[in-house]
Structure 1
Amino acid sequence: MTTAGTGQAEADRGDKGGIRTALAGLTTRGRSFLAAGVAAAVCSYVLGQSDLLRVGLLLAVLPLVCATVLYRTRYRVAGSRRLSPARLPAGSEARVHLRMDNVSRLPTGLLMLQDRVPYVLGPRPRFVLDRVEAGGRREVSYRVRSDLRGRYPLGPLQLRLTDPFGMCELTRSFSTFDTLTVIPRVEPLAPVRLSGEAKGYGEGRQRSLALAGEDDVIPRGYRYGDDLRRVHWRSTARYGELMVRREEQPQRARCTVLLDTRGIAYQGAGPDSAFEWAVSGAASVLVHMLERGFSVRLLTDTGNAVPGEGGDGFAGANQESADAAGLMMDTLAVIDHSDGAGLSRAYDVLRGGNEGLLVAFLGDLDEEQAAVLGRMRQRSPGAVAFVLDSDSWVREPSDVPGPLDGSGERLRMLREAGWTALGVPRGASVDELWRQADRERRGMAAAGGGEGP
């Protein structure tokens, strides 16, 4: 028998190895028949009963013949797997479609199909396929679900072939497997306007006027649809082709999402832990900002930035938002605690300035790290911090909610440094905190005599 996935997986062909494989595939029934046949043959010799010898030979030969025929029967079976979808949020279900094609000229016997699935995705699926005619196909499907984000391999697919008497069972495995990516939960956020967001046309976009005047204008080549009134005749005569004035340059507003992954900053584990909330919150903000037209990047306490293309590490205007979101979601799907003790590496990345809006999801902070965050604020026109007190996440919730223990002083330090800082209680909604951050920013602007955007 030969099995195939996207490629072809050949069965073992060595005679000695093949015989051992066939004998190893004897089922409990086959081994029982073989043992009974040997016992009958021994009894016939001891008792001198020739009829009992014939019965013993029949019992012993039947499983051997079944194993030989099953091993020598050459089926060519192709298998494929399709995930729908291949990337899904935690807590959602995906359907896995399996397809088996009999590409040989012989019909198959009874086939038992089994796919290898990690334990967190559910039980291992098994299917029984009846006789598949020559050139025929069978399609089956099953569902997988995980509350834990990550990348999970599916496969390889295993096909078990058995004889009609159930004496022997051989297993063949496909060589290919697929990967299911479980990304963090993404919560829709309200379209509020936080400081650092640009004014101008469109959502989250800026207009920077180029240089005015005929002498200082920066021309570019004519494109179909350009207004002919913008043609710059002096440059046209100079370059020998139609040139137009570049009167304005659209510039996308920027947003940096800082995710604190320090292992010492969080306690607890599991889908309801503080760290998982921070990862989900970062994913929600990233998707929200991309949808609003921002150039975004994901930054961790280790100093690593995603997507990281280009000199500034942002997802630029030449990169599709869907591709940027997919890359950052894939990163968040497998992100784990770091061994770092501080946020200095992230601060080094932000020292260049012009980083746009800074949104941080932070764990437990000490005075030193709060001071580092205060210096980060000086590099961004607007900054919002969601601080998780991990102690409150591992304790049992009380009947009367109170202030977060141990985080009040750090929140005060961040607010004095200019952050819009919020404590995150256990089980809080990302959208509600997002709205609250906007209300607090407007209150700070009103108290300071400023005017919110």
Structure 2
Amino acid sequence: MRRRPTPRGWALAAVGLVALQAGIGLGSLDLVRIGVLLLAVPVTALVSVMVVDAVRGRRGIVVHREVRPDPVHAGQEAEVRVDIRATDRAGRARLAGLRFSEQAAVELSGGRALRARVTRRADHALVRYPVRATQRGRWPLGPLVVTRTDMFGVVRSRTTLGTESQVAVWPTVVALPAPSDVLVGEPDRVALGARSPSTDDANLRDYREGDDLRRVHWTSSARRGTLLVRSDERAGMRPVSVLLDLPVRASAAEWTISLAASIALAMLDTGHPVRLAGAGIATGTAAGPARGASPYVHARSGLEARAALLDLTLDLAPARTSAESETQLLDAVRLLDTSQAAGEIVVAVIGPLSAPGRAALAHVGDVAQGWAMVRADGRSAGDARDAHHTATALRRSGWRVAQVTTGEDAVECWLRLLGGAR
């Protein structure tokens, strides 16, 4: 709670002080009385505000904040609605004399004052204003700041009502074209959109992470003592792991996250089970705070699946050093290597790697179908040279590779990868 005189209060106090001094100097009792009276007005108002606020506190007023949409993508606008409702007669009396303002993180306000529209009724007020998300993450909004003055307008008090909210901002994503059919099916069934059963549809195979549990053949599984699934056309949708490393530079990290999220959503929309793997991605297991890869999400979950993938990007942060970035990437690669990745698709968005990093990714390419975008910042010849070495090593290991530059259009990068050579 902050209380301070208004300009009118300061003026009264100043005039009163001058009148008091003049009355004492001139021996005028009337001037002394006028000075004391003028000084008493702001002092009395300040004491009154303190007593009333101490007694009433924040009781009688309830604040509810709603953001639509929430989460919101970076670069998009959202509308905030703050409903301030009085729950009793005293609350209605207080509500009538309040002025409202909101606090928001600079990532939501852009560093500018929020321009709100206020609609008042007898028992509640509605504050509405737009915010524009400028950066991925979780950003605070509120609490509501209320200001009121006493009946004489000489003392202003300012306090907060309600609690702070958080607005989740997803990365910017781009709609990417559907991948070519070579990405989709089992090695012997690559035609995208195949709907007629093949001669192998009746066959059973071992369950792999990402398979639809509805395709489990429970009778055979019970007899064999291990999960078996039917190899029909839906079981032929390979699981996809989108692997990313985060560079040190913040703008490059945001571009990498945006591209990886766009790829993950494109593969999900095609029907693949998809997971994210890389620095800071939660495993979602009961083993503790381990990081490396998320569980698979399935297209059948609809909007919930898209939200689950995008939520994983909210708390990602750039690495502090290039060595740390590669260490985190290698941890994720080792996790992929031990998670029955055979037959799945690994789409990597990575920077230049050292020899151990290239060797680790090459090993993943032995058991999975590997596709990689090798990122260069375009700031130095050495960076471009290292990216070229990484791309060449991965191609020799059987990866399909495209070299990209930070900040490039995501669709162009994707199409270059789809048309790239092994």
TM over 0.5: yes
2:273 to 279, 292, 295: 295
Q: CA deviation at 1:211?
A: 5.5
Shift of 1:51: 1.3
Q: Does the 8 Å CA contact 1:204/1:294 hold for their aligned counterparts? A: no
Unpaired segments of 5 or more residues in structure 2?
205-213, 220-228, 288-292
Gaps of 5+ in 1: 1-20, 213-222, 224-231, 233-245, 397-402, 445-453
- Residue 51 of structure 1 is matched in structure 2 by 30
Quickly say closer, same or farther: Cα 1:41–1:128, change in 2 above 3 A. farther
Secondary structure of 2:140's counterpart equals strand
Cα drift, residue 152 of structure 1 = 0.1
Structure-1 residue corresponding to 2:355: 367
Partner of 2:114: 125
Match of 2:262 among 252, 270, 284: 284
Going by fraction, where is helix more abundant, 1 or 2? 2
Q: Deviations over 1:239-261 (max 9, x none)?
A: xxxxxxx9776424200000112
Larger of the two Rg values belongs to structure: 1
Equivalent in the alignment of 1:330: 311
**Contact conserved, 2:274 with 2:298, CA < 8 A, in 1?**
no
Q: Structure 2 residue aligned with 1:350, among 324, 336, 345?
A: 336
Q: Residue 240 of structure 2 aligns with which residue?
A: 255
1:423 aligns with one of 379, 385, 403: 403
Task: Report the TM-score, using the length of structure 1 for normalisation.
Answer: 0.72
Are the structure 2 counterparts of residues 125 and 166 from structure 1 closer, same or farther at C-alpha, using a change threshold of 3 Å? farther
Contact 1:301 1:344 in 2 (8 A): no
Relative to 1, partners in 2 of residues 1:67 and 1:434: Cα closer, same or farther, differing over 3 Å? same
1:436 maps to 416
3-state secondary structure, aligned to 1:155: strand
| 3-state SS in 2 of match to 1:159 | strand
Match of residue 72, structure 2, among 77, 88, 94? 88
Distance 1:141 1:329, change over 3 A: same
AA at the equivalent of 2:167: L
Give the aligned CA root-mean-square deviation in angstroms: 3.4
Contact 1:112–1:126 (Cα < 8 Å) also in 2: no
The answer as to 2:88 corresponding to 1:104 is: yes
Return closer, same or farther for 1:127/1:278 CA change in 2, 3 Å cut-off. Answer: closer
- Aligned match of 2:141: 154
Candidates 270, 275, 281, aligned match of 2:253:
275
Shift of 1:67: 3.1
* Equivalent in the alignment of 1:227: none
1:79 maps to a residue whose letter is: V
Distance in 2, Cα, partners of 1:173 & 1:196? 55
Partners of 1:194 and 1:51 in 2: CA distance:
98
Which position in structure 1 is the counterpart of 2:128? 141
TM-score normalised over the length of structure 2:
0.76
Where 2:148 maps in the other structure, the secondary structure is strand
1:188–1:288 contact (8 Å) kept in structure 2: yes
Q: Distance in 2 between matches of 1:281 and 1:29?
A: 57
**C-alpha separation between the residues in 2 aligned to 1:267 and 1:176?**
34
For residue 371 of structure 1, report the CA deviation from its aligned partner.
Answer: 1.8
Whole-angstrom CA distance in 2 between matches of 1:340 and 1:429: 23
What displacement does 1:378 show?
0.9
Aligned partners of 1:196 and 1:440: how far apart in 2? 13
Q: Secondary structure at the match of 2:419?
A: helix
CA–CA distance in 2 between the matches of 1:200 and 1:309? 35
- 8 Å CA contact retained: 2:402, 2:420: no
Number of the residue aligned with 2:209: none
- Counterpart residue identity of residue 358, structure 1: V
Deviation at 1:128, TM superposition (A): 8.8
Instruction: Please tell me whether the aligned partners of residues 333 and 360 of structure 2 are also in contact (alpha carbons under 8 angstroms).
Output: yes
| Change over 3 Å in CA distance of 1:34–1:347 after alignment to 2 | same
How many residue pairs are counted as aligned between the two chains? 370
* Cα distance in 1, alignment partners of residues 64 and 380 from structure 2: 47
